[in-house]
């Protein structure tokens, strides 16, 4: 991500679209580091344990760009991608376009059992900077663009070459939103 942003900044781009659709997430650390590339200051995520203890991840002035940003999300955006999109939305750094995200905001620890199997135990929950519980609720986009199940399946399974083009209805709306953000600067 750092290399991509740096490369695009050297080309004098006017703004960015980050596509997190169908992104099931990854490591908390990675989402926090990516958020810091876009966010100069502010809370990124709060992690709260069952016993009430909590921790916050915060940006410290190392954003690589302040140019307009739009993020594409959908019901396939989960976990770390929700942390990233929630952080940038709550801090007014990005507008989200698409549909509500999946809603996986749990911190889990896998414990090995004697028979070789494992048990996932929920030990904490993720909250956005404005204190929204990600789990089961997901992140609501600023601009909703619904696709029917048939449209979604067709786009993602049969016409993948249209993803990220103006023939992709959610991407086309993101381009429109980004254009307005650029014009208003």
Residue 162 is among the residues annotated as catalytic for this protein: no
Longest dimension (CA), the chain: 61
Kindly report the CATH number that applies to the domain delimited by 2-149+159-170. 3.90.226.10
What does residue 38 show for φ and ψ, rounded to 5 degrees? -105, -20
Q: What's the confidence (pLDDT) of residue 97?
A: 98
Q: Which of 31, 36, 74, 79 is catalytic?
A: 79
pLDDT bin (cut points 50, 70, 90) of residue 107 is confident
C-alpha 150 chain-centroid distance: 24
Half-sphere exposure of 161 (CA within 13 A, CB side): 0
Q: What's the confidence (pLDDT) of residue 26?
A: 87
In the chain, % of residues over pLDDT 70: 100
C-alpha closest to that of 34 among 90, 106, 88: 88
User: 3-class DSSP state for residue 49?
Assistant: strand
Q: Which of 104, 125, 168, 173 is catalytic?
A: 104
Q: What's the confidence (pLDDT) of residue 50?
A: 78
Sketch the domain layout of the chain as residue ranges.
2-149+159-170
Residue 104 is among the residues annotated as catalytic for this protein: yes
Q: What's the confidence (pLDDT) of residue 168?
A: 97
**CA atoms of 185 and 2, how far apart (whole Å):** 24
**CA atoms of 107 and 134, how far apart (whole Å):** 11
Query: Alpha helix (H) ranges present in the chain?
Result: 2-10, 28-38, 80-90, 149-153, 169-184
Q: Which of 19, 90, 95, 168 is catalytic?
A: 90
Q: What's the confidence (pLDDT) of residue 178?
A: 98
Q: Is the pLDDT of residue 177 over 80?
A: yes
Mean pLDDT of the chain: 95
Q: For residue 30, is it left (φ>0), alpha (ψ between -120 and 50) or beta?
A: alpha
pLDDT bin (cut points 50, 70, 90) of residue 170 is very high
Residue 79 is among the residues annotated as catalytic for this protein: yes
pLDDT in tens, 1-40: 999 999 999 999 999 999 999 999 988 899 999 999 999 9
Q: Is the pLDDT of residue 71 over 80?
A: yes
Q: What's the confidence (pLDDT) of residue 109?
A: 82
């Amino acid at each position: 991500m750092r290399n991509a942003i740096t490369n695009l900044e050297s080309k004098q781009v006017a703004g960015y679209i980050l596509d997190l659709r169908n992104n099931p997430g990854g490591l908390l650390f990675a989402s926090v580091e990516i958020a810091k590339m876009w966010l100069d200051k502010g809370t990124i995520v709060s992690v709260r344990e069952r016993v009430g203890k909590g921790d916050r991840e915060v940006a410290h002035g190392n954003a690589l760009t302040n140019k307009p940003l739009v993020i594409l999300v959908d019901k396939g955006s989960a976990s770390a991608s929700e942390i990233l999109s929630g952080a940038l939305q709550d801090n007014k750094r990005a507008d989200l376009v698409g549909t509500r995200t999946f809603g996986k905001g749990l911190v889990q620890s896998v414990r090995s059992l004697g028979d070789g199997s494992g048990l996932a135990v929920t030990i904490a929950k993720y909250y956005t900077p404005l204190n929204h519980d990600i789990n089961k609720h997901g992140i609501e986009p600023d601009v909703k663009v619904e696709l029917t199940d048939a449209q979604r399946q067709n786009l993602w399974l049969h016409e993948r070459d249209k993803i990220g083009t103006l023939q992709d209805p959610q991407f086309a709306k993101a381009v429109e939103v980004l254009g307005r953000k650029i014009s208003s600067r």
